[in-house]
Structure 1
Amino acid sequence: MKEGEYQTPTGEFTTGLCDCCTDCSGCCLTFCCPCVSFGRMAEILDQGSVSCCTAGTFYLILATFVGFHWLYTCTYRAKMKALFGFPKSTCDDCCAHFFCHCCALAQEYRELKHRGYHPSLGNYYSILQIYIYLSPYILPPFYSTCTISVWHTHK
């Protein structure tokens, strides 16, 4: 590991539940409009099968009319833990979302960022990253070189 490089630990979140100030933009988004941050996370965790708008709207309806939005978001914390190989802890997940709901959402949003996902760009950006990475292997040599060189010049 090079100096200054951060290695993601396995089995735990990279930041604590109350480390909201380490990512001010994600923290402000989560505290001011949690339906948006949750929708972005849900789109990534569901690999695009649920859109940001759909998940965020469902969250907003549950929060406004029913009050069980914390239970809905708790299931996505479990999905995130399964995706990154964290130990399963249903009771802890539910308690985190019930007692510290916005802190739990902000922690999950930060975790996606630390793991290389871009919640603000959604699932399609992740697919684009994979395509760019694999294009030299799946496209003919001339075309993949042109595609990548054009991509790097237009960033």
Structure 2
Amino acid sequence: MTSKMVVQQPQPIMYTQESDEWSSGICDCCQDVPGCCCAFWCLPCFTCITSRDYGEPLCLPLLEIFSGWIPAVTMSMRVNMRQRYRIRGTMCRDCVISTFCCACSWCQMSREMKRRNVSVVMVGAKNT
């Protein structure tokens, strides 16, 4: 049995997004009808699932009942997502969208996560 020396390790494939814009508009509900229906019929459930899928605590969005007029959790998730995915925008716009289009904002964030999250498979070496 011959053994081969590994000269170069396999590198993970990284997804790069060329655009610095949201991949869908704030009102593009037809791009994910089941998700938008879930958000329409049970927004608290939808926000909790989206928050968990994003890597935040499951029940974090439920804290918005204590936040007052501006939905702080929605706004902070939106700002964080823009920074993570390098999407252009302003905190002022995020505040307006989070306040007046809360359900649409969560749907847009969910669609963005689905489009940008690509599984990275790391190939490990076997110990013999």
User: Are the counterparts in 2 of residues 41 and 109 from structure 1 also a CA contact under 8 Å?
Assistant: yes
- 5 Å-filtered alignment, 1:1-150, equals 8-45=17-54, 47=55, 50-52=56-58, 54-59=59-64, 62=65, 67-68=68-69, 70-116=71-117, 129-130=119-120, 133-134=121-122, 136=123, 138-140=124-126
The CA RMSD measured in Å over matched residues stands at 2.5
Deviations 1:38-74 (A, max 9, x none): 22332343x3xx432x224434xx1xx6654623211
Deviations 1:67-94 (A, max 9, x none): 5462321110000001001124100001
With structure 1 as the length reference, what TM-score do the two structures score? 0.62
SS at match of 1:10: coil
Q: Percent identity?
A: 25
> 1:75 and 1:56, CA in 2 relative to 1: closer, same or farther beyond 3 A?
closer
More helix per residue: 1 or 2? 1
With structure 2 as the length reference, what TM-score do the two structures score? 0.73
Deviating above 6 A after TM superposition, structure 1's stretches of 4 or more consecutive aligned residues are none
- Which one has the largest radius of gyration? 2
| Higher RCO (C-alpha under 8 Å, 6+ residues apart) | 2
Q: How many residues align?
A: 113
> 1:139 and 1:39, CA in 2 relative to 1: closer, same or farther beyond 3 A?
farther
